[in-house]
Chains A and B, each alone.
Chain A
Amino acid sequence: MRRAAVVLIGWGLWLAVLTCLQAVFAPKLIQFSIPAVASAACVIAGLGLWLTEARQGEQERPRLITDSSVATATLIVGAAVALVGAGFGLWLILIGAGIAALGFGGVVREQRARARTLREEGSR
């Protein structure tokens, strides 16, 4: 699986080469910096994936398949309402934040239930 990281690293380097090619054409700073940031981010993400895979190895892990998550939907709707509030007033931000807090609590609860189920499966 570690070879998968090569896709990101290699592609990021390819983008970096194309970006550096601009040097021949006297680029403006913004024209150079935007793809440079993107290529650097891609290489860093690839390295991160490489290290993660190296740490976790190829070991088999039990996997939990969840059915639904109302809390996730609630969290996102709340966050969206709060974001829109930035343009329409504090009252909307507060309503959105309240909904998002409710959703966040639900996500935490779901995560705990998930961890508990995995623990129980592991001890069986």
Chain B
Amino acid sequence: MSTVALPARVASSSLASTDHKRIAGTACGVAFLFFLAGGLLALLMRSQLAADGGVVSQQTYNELFTMHGSTMVYLVIVPVALAVGIYFVPLQVGAAEIAGPRVTLAGLWLYVCGGVLMWSGFLTSSGAAAASWWGFDPLSESIHSPGSGMELWIFGVMLATLGQILWAGCVLLTALRARAPGMTLMRMPVFTWTMVVTSVMVVFGFPALLLALGLLWAQRHFGGVLVGGAGAVDYQALFWFYGHPVVYVMFFPFVGMVGEVLATFSSRRFFGYSAFVVALLAFAGLSMTVWAHHMFTLGVFSNKYFALTSTALIVPAGVEYFDFLATIWRGSLRFTVAFLFAVGFLVQFLVGGLTGIILASPPLDYGLNMSYFVVAHFHYTIFAGSAFGLFGGIYYWFPKITGVMLRERLGKLHFVLMVIGTNVTFFPMFILGSEGMTRRIARYPASTGWQGLNILETAGSVVIALSVLVFMLNVVVSLRHRRPAGDDPWGAHTLEWATSSPPPRHNFDALPPIRSYAPLLDLREGAEASG
């Protein structure tokens, strides 16, 4: 495909650039700021629970958990997952740029505006939104949540979500329509495949949230839209049609990153590629049909159906885990920081996944619903799982993005602290949930004996904060005292490593022949075979 460079008429800046790499970089930078802000809210919540109340009021605590959850889901994990796709999918399929660069830029601005709006609720006299990250109806209606904080939350979430839909559309079209010659569908790298299914879920699942929030806004202003119990159930149905697939949107891209990392650092071709792709597509379809398991206790939907589909998720998940284990089996392992985080993802996500099977069973869910067991479960999937996958991806791709290596020693310290902090913070939540501690409470009776475990969790959250500081130190040190990475410091398999680090505006000067999903490995093997 021939390319023409348009002379820059306007001073190029990150905030107006149509280069997919700069858009993704800006999005990740903004998301990291939101991550720090959301993490600060979590530390405040943990302080409140360790002290058994007394740090903040109940209303402020409601705002804290609402904005923590909203920030981490709408403004951190989902945007980062898509931003990594924006950066690497064009590179992995050998495209000169992303499909729809202006639309991608529009998505960035929608996301930024959405985040600013959501957080500006703290500046209003009524405070920020306080109806949880899913904006419970009728709690989120104007009579229960008056003031502009809730309004700003609704608009903010709508804008950020719309931006994410645009991003997903661009990533999807890039993978489907902008592939280089020779890059057939079944030669796309595993990360690109995970981004394809992620994008499909975003494009066809996320509009339900826009509809739900539009109805909520109309209900707040005009009434008569979400009427009574049926209205609340309809809102929840629409919300969870977004709200469960989003869990997989926060999972699949990191599965892809872990797959790339495991194959590279095992020095082996990814095992069971075709089965992995089929499992991924089946997994994505199933994950769009499990959403009402969040509403088992309402008893209005077909619990048997949703229990069946939720439990069936084990099958494709098992195929993926089997592929991962078979990839590293008898491989020539290199225990880099990226590899450690990938293994951390595998082990810890398993805890989240297995406890998900418990919650997929209606009789067990009736006992555990709305307890800290659920909080522990989803933090094991999203933080102990996805965040570890993300850090694995960061340590793996940082040399490609910046041209310099991150420090391995600091990285290993980061990993150890994060493993300790994560498990000390989230594992006791399983115990507290089983003992009956309800989520979203700002204080609890002393007679429950829950304070000891809450203090332990708070200590764990401080260790997580420390690990993030070590990571930031690593980035600063690595960028100031640069150790050049070269084009392919890891001996990786996929096309993004065939260009310079960082890649030029047009991504590639020349592409190697593409004969499989691991073209660089093919080249190396070919060179070895020919002596």
Contact = CB atoms under 8 A, between A and B. Distances in A.
Contact of B237 (A25, A34, A76): A34
A34 B9 CA distance: 46
A123 interface: no
B159 A65 contact: no
Contact of B185 (A3, A21, A87, A117): A3
A35 B241 contact: yes
Interface in A56-72: 60-70, 72
Given A72-B16, A117-B6, A38 B109 contact: no
B488 to A, nearest CB: 24
Contacts, number: 181
A76 B109 contact: yes
A101 interface: no
| Main DSSP-derived SS at the A contact region | helix
A29 to B, nearest CB: 10
A83 interface: yes
A22 B305 contact: yes
Contacts of A77: 109, 113
Given A4-B177, A49-B176, A63 B106 contact: no
Given A15-B285, A70-B16, A114 B6 contact: yes
Interface string A1-42: 101110110111011001101101111101100110011011
| Main DSSP-derived SS at the B contact region | helix
A19 B292 CA distance: 13
A84 interface: yes
Contact of A68 (B16, B241, B281, B301): B16
B204 interface: yes
Interface in A40-99: 41-42, 45, 49, 53, 60-70, 72-73, 75-77, 80, 83-84, 86-88
Ranked nearest first, the 5 interchain pairs of A and B with the lowest CB-CB distance are A25-B302, A4-B176, A76-B109, A80-B113, A25-B305
20 contacts: A3-B185, A7-B176, A7-B185, A10-B281, A18-B288, A21-B305, A30-B237, A35-B288, A45-B203, A49-B177, A69-B101, A69-B105, A72-B18, A72-B106, A76-B110, A84-B152, A84-B155, A87-B221, A113-B6, A121-B4
